[in-house]
Chains A and B, each alone.
Chain A
Amino acid sequence: MTRRDSMLATLTAALALSALPWLMSDFALALTLTCLMYAGLAVSWAMFCGATNYLSLATAAFFGMGAYVTAWGADGLPYGVAVLLGGLTAAAFAALVGAAVLHLRGAYFAVITFGLGELVRHAITYYEKAYAGTVGRVIAEPPEAIPIYFAVLLLTALAVLAALAVRSSRLGLALRGIGSDEERARTLGVNTRREKIVAFSLSAFFAGALGAAMAVRWTYIDPLTVFNPFIGFQTVLIAMVGGAHTILGPIVSALLFSLLTEFLRLQFPYLFLSLLGLLLILLVLYLPGGLASLIDRWRLGARWRRWKTDA
């Protein structure tokens, strides 16, 4: 599919999905919302991590930051502005962190982003207690279900469009070069540090904006609820199962997982999470390219490798 076709397909799908609130029950809508959120998170995660093979575990931190932007702006700040601000805050934070640690080995980067969730959580807990004198916050007048739905739908559609745009741009090419052989890319003129920071920030924007958008679904917000490591884990798993090098893969995978999660997680939380952990291990060991690579191989037979390399 050409880029233009893919983008048109995305817009069409978004348009079609926007009719759902009037066709679905509240429960089904909530499910769709979760599904869209994970699709947005997974696609934006894969935008940076899929191409470069860097493992960012900072999704939970960005998501939580965005949620707190909404919480802090709850009285006074219009919902749309809060969402935008949440995204921008996360992006700015990502740029800062990225400038500090993206030039390090991938392993260091992964562990450092892993700790970011806890770090931000502790910082916000401290700030809330010391300066705001509170533990949690209440969102007194949350928006209706429909504006929330549209916000998330819009963000996810934008994330997909952004991923498509990046993939066929110079930035995308640079990222693929970085993922393939970073030093080689440098000797061919890529300012790897700058490109990584840009892509990392872009990816963080969506995580933060989605956090800000979804925050209103919890009427009571406190650091523990909002900085939930499961969101980060689920994002990575969904992207990996779908195929982090693709855009459609994480979207389809998000659909599958949201359905699974809703039913199983609340019933058997610990067992479910353990099995998900096991799933990730098996996936990385035996099918690192995710479902997308499986489909490639089945559909195209001998031509699958050539297809895989098309821009």
Chain B
Amino acid sequence: MREALLSAKGVSVRFGGLLAVDAVDLDVHAGEMVGVIGPNGAGKTTFFHALSGVLVPTAGRIVVAGDDLTGKPAHAYALHGVARTFQTPRVFKDMTAVQNVRFGLEFAGRTRQHAHDAFDDPVAILDFLGLAGAASVPAGGLTPSRQRLLEIGMALGARPRVLLLDEVAAGLTHAEVDATAQLIRRVRDELGLAVVWIEHAVRVLMNYVERVAVLHQGAKIADGDARAVARDAAVIEAYLGEDGASQRRVA
């Protein structure tokens, strides 16, 4: 069993009286694409905050490539190869798209090499994402969906080993989602990244990931093969009234 690139062990995050993340375990390996799904408020984004060092977990450990980074500041995670996007795209609005991508290369990406040289050039990264035309446009002037793509570019600029994507498909058409997912797949294949992908639109995710973890009220209630999880009774019940009902019809 090869070693996990990113390993969360018993991670809990508590805000005052609210337990947002409840003792979640998750192991992600190089080359894997893992989806994280769950109803609204399940704690998915909070879990990501813990995985990227933005929040310090109240309990549990986070190990990246063998190094225990629990409690360390976010930049330590970035320097270890954890890159992420945010639920609402957070780009540097006053900088051009190119400068946004270059930012990661200057800092987090400085100490590592990409498996593929092609991703060392910000312009090439933008080209790969279909944003070449917007290179000199201030990021604040891009549409939200293009900002989401740019965020992926920024994350790639950081030369990550682990890519955390938070709802990159939100607001996109089916064709756009498909294109984006293909992109992510290609990145994963060429660079051997571990990709963790939160998606609220479950149907979308199921078609592209091999493995799915389900969070419900902060706790992990399922983790395994995408199709098997889709049929899991507990998962369906968690989603009852939302996607769950229609999933049952599909399955």
Q: Report which A residues bind B (CB closer than 8 A).
A: 170, 173-174, 176-177, 180-181, 183-193, 305-306, 308-309, 311
Contacts and interface: CB of A to CB of B under 8 A. Distances in A.
Contact of A305 (B90, B99, B104, B138): B138
A184 B93 CA distance: 11
Contacts, number: 78
Given A177-B103, A306-B136, A186 B74 contact: yes
Q: Which 5 pairs of residues, A with B, have the shortest CB-CB distance?
A: A189-B108, A189-B107, A189-B78, A186-B74, A180-B92
Interface of B: 52-54, 73-75, 77-79, 83-84, 86, 90-96, 99, 103-104, 106-110, 136-138, 141, 154, 157-158
A189 B95 contact: no
Nearest to A245: B94
B107 A190 contact: yes
Contacts of A306: 96, 136-138
B104 A189 contact: yes
Contact of B103 (A188, A305, A309): A188
A184 B158 CA distance: 12
B93 A180 contact: yes
Contacts of B158: 188-189
Nearest to A180: B92
SS class of chain B's interface: helix, strand, loop or mixed? mixed
Contact of B106 (A170, A187, A193): A170
Contact of A309 (B54, B94, B107, B110): B94
15 contacts: A170-B107, A176-B92, A177-B103, A180-B93, A184-B92, A186-B53, A187-B84, A188-B103, A188-B104, A189-B79, A189-B108, A190-B75, A306-B136, A306-B138, A309-B95
Nearest to A188: B104
Contacts of A305: 138, 141
A188 B107 contact: yes
Contacts of B107: 170, 174, 185, 188-190
B99 A183 contact: no
A309 B78 contact: no
Nearest to A186: B74
Given A186-B73, A309-B96, A173 B106 contact: yes
B27 to A, nearest CB: 22
A184 B83 CA distance: 10
